[in-house]
């Protein structure tokens, strides 16, 4: 028997210990990584069950409706999802493999409010040159030189699609052999992709404004400035954003449009999504992961593997204490964590006001860097692009501080307590003030508002300390591969190669799925998506 929650169908919880399920693979978590993995495994012909604690799928990309307003919890800036071939966004490759399409609304601009002024910027190299013309015309030559430097790097970044990767010896067939001509054609440029992006711009960019701008772009991609962001990630972005005719894409329905497409793909190929199905423990038999136990007592056996879409810290907590490998424990202890988020969700009356625009980035000061505490504020008004996301004549807004809110300020507080509410109002004020630079009377117009904190992330997203993910600095560490020291246990998501962000977590889910598939089935899938 089922019930429907906010448009999603979820199984009614069974009595404790009353049920047993059987699958080839159990995936823990329905974030983009977990859904990408589960749906591709179903496409490969395996029996898959995806278990999700929440009553809404999507993880950090889930959405919900309150008083007619559609609120987004996570990403809002997308590109490359309509692309084909090797250079497409990995989420596009996953959806193409599943035979699912997104209804994409194209646009090309967003507004930035910087210490130097307010600018309407567009994707494409020429647009930023127009900004430089206003800030420092003498720096335009540096920007043009950077375009030349990035051209071979962008080519190298798209030579090997992440969909070709797998974490076993057959990667020599599906990746190295299949794409050898493209890889060889990139020459030494490929080697530069493995270091921090700051190494690429050293000696090329001297202008402080451009360096700050590049730090900002890197921060939006990875949660780290240029000296911590791997050059490959930035090169891939340059390939998308600074090519002729480049466009950004908004999926109709918001991030939920992507999640629904992944769930459709999972279901279509015989997979199953179980909502309100919290995994309490990964079950072990003779040192091997053989299934999971849900909080209601249900046992789900996995004959082939268990894949965790949880963070490395949360995955470790799912393992029986006696079965936790020392190497996994040490990795979790030694890996730095990015800080958490503050969110402002608001639904407001738009009567008499002009279209405020979809995207705004507010940087009050460059002092301390883009990753300074409560520095950069991102604002997305999704209903400007898709009016169905708010009641008629209204708008829905999401403003957030990405990975700059310290968990330590919140540790020990109880959600809902007077102390918590007071701190929430205090720490959320920076978000209101940033939004007021776009909509001065937002507080008077507002009909519903919510502030999210690191404890919100910890509670609803099951994120250890509400973290954005591992703060692994390029050149000083690498994201772990999907395989673990425990046979039968794999991982995907933002604690796993290639890292943080929608393209990266989709790729991580694909790599985990490919690893569990035969190399021949994997090769055929690459043929099918035209890479």
Binding-site annotation: residue ranges for FAD:
279
Residue 243 burial by Cβ neighbours in a 10 Å radius (0-12, 13-18, 19+): middle
Q: How far is the C-alpha of 279 from the C-alpha of 95, rounded, in Å? A: 27
The string of DSSP letters for 173-193 reads: IIIIITTHHHHHHTTTHHHHT
Element holding 27 (H helix, E strand):
strand 20-28
- Residues at the binding site are 279
Q: How many CB atoms lie within 10 A of CB 521?
A: 12
What is the chain's alpha carbon radius of gyration, rounded to the nearest angstrom? 23
Helices 208-222, 231-241: crossing angle, 10 deg rounding: 100
* Residue 47: exposure state from Cβ atoms within 10 A (0-12, 13-18, ≥19): middle
Q: 450: which residues sit within 8 A by CB, 6+ positions away? A: 66, 71, 343, 344, 345, 346
Beta strands in 256-298 (DSSP E): 272-274, 279-285, 288-294
Helix (H) or strand (E) holding 168: none
In whole angstroms, what is the distance from residue 443 CA to residue 440 CA? 8
d(CA 53, CA 56): 9
Axis-axis angle for helices 90-98, 255-268 (nearest 10):
40
Cα 346 to Cα 11, 99, 142, 384: the distances in Å are: 31, 35, 40, 14
Two tokens at 187?
């020459």
- Name the residue among 276, 281, 278 with its Cα closest to residue 292: 281
Q: What phi, psi does 328 have (nearest 5°)?
A: -70, -40
- Euclidean distance between CA atoms 303 and 246, whole angstroms: 45
Provide the 10 A C-beta neighbour count for residue 437: 16
Q: How far apart are CA 11 and CA 276, in angstroms?
A: 8
Can you tell me which residue has the tokens 């560490």? Answer: 477
Residue where the block lists tokens 């109709």? 252
Q: Which tokens hold the place of 414?
A: 């109880």
- List strand residue ranges (DSSP E) for 54-153, in order: 63-66, 69-72, 104-107, 109-114, 117-122
CA distance 95 to 525: 12
Q: Are 32 and 61 in contact (CB under 8 A)?
A: yes
**CA-based angle 75:165:88, to the nearest 5?**
45
- Widest Cα–Cα separation across the chain: 72
């Amino acid at each position: 028997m089922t019930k429907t929650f906010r448009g999603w169908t979820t199984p009614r919880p069974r009595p404790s210990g009353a049920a047993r399920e059987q699958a080839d693979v159990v995936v823990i978590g329905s974030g983009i990584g977990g859904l990408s993995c589960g749906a591709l495994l179903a496409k490969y012909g395996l029996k898959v069950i995806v278990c999700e604690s929440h009553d809404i799928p999507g993880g950090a990309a889930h959405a919900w409706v309150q008083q007619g307003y559609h609120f987004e919890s996570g990403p809002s800036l997308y590109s490359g999802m309509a692309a084909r071939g090797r250079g497409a966004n990995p989420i596009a490759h996953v959806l193409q493999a599943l035979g699912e399409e997104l209804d994409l609304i194209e646009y090309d601009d967003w507004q930035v409010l910087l210490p130097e002024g307010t600018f309407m910027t567009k994707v494409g190299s020429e647009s930023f040159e127009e900004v430089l013309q206003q800030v420092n015309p003498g720096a335009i030559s540096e920007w043009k030189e950077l375009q030349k430097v990035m051209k071979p790097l962008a080519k190298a970044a798209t030579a090997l699609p992440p969909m070709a990767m797998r974490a076993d010896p057959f990667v020599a067939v599906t990746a190295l052999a299949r794409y050898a001509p493209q890889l060889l054609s990139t020459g030494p440029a490929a080697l530069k992709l493995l270091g921090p992006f700051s190494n690429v711009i050293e000696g090329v960019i001297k202008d402080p404004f451009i360096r700050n701008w590049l730090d900002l772009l890197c921060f939006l991609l990875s949660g780290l400035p240029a000296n911590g962001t791997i050059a490959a990630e930035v090169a891939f972005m340059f390939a998308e954003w600074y090519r002729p005719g480049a466009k950004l894409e908004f999926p109709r329905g918001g991030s939920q449009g992507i999640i629904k497409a992944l769930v459709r793909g999972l279901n279509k190929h015989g997979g199953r999504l179980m909502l309100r199905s919290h995994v309490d423990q990964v079950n072990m038999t003779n040192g091997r992961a053989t299934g999971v136990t849900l909080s209601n007592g249900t046992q789900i056996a996995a004959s082939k593997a268990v894949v965790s879409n949880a963070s490395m810290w949360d995955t470790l907590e799912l393992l029986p204490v006696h079965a936790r490998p020392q190497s996994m424990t040490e990795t979790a202890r030694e890996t730095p964590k990015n800080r958490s988020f503050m969110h402002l969700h608001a639904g407001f009356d738009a009567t008499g006001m002009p279209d405020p625009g979809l995207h705004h980035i507010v940087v009050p000061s460059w002092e301390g860097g883009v990753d300074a505490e409560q520095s950069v504020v991102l604002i997305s008004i999704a209903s400007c692009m898709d009016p169905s996301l708010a009641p008629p004549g209204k708008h829905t807004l999401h403003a957030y501080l990405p990975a700059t809110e310290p968990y330590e300020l919140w540790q020990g507080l109880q959600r809902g307590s007077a102390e918590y509410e007071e701190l929430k109002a205090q720490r959320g004020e920076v978000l209101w003030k940033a939004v007021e630079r776009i909509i001065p009377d937002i507080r008077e117009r507002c009909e519903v508002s919510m502030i999210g904190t690191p404890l919100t992330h910890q509670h609803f997203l099951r994120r250890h300390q509400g973290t954005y993910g591992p703060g692994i600095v390029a050149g000083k560490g690498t994201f772990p591969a999907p395989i673990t020291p425990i046979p039968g246990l794999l991982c995907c998501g933002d604690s796993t190669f290639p890292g943080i962000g929608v393209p990266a977590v989709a790729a991580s889910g694909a790599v985990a799925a490919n690893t569990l598939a035969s190399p021949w089935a994997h090769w055929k899938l690459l043929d099918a998506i035209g890479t």
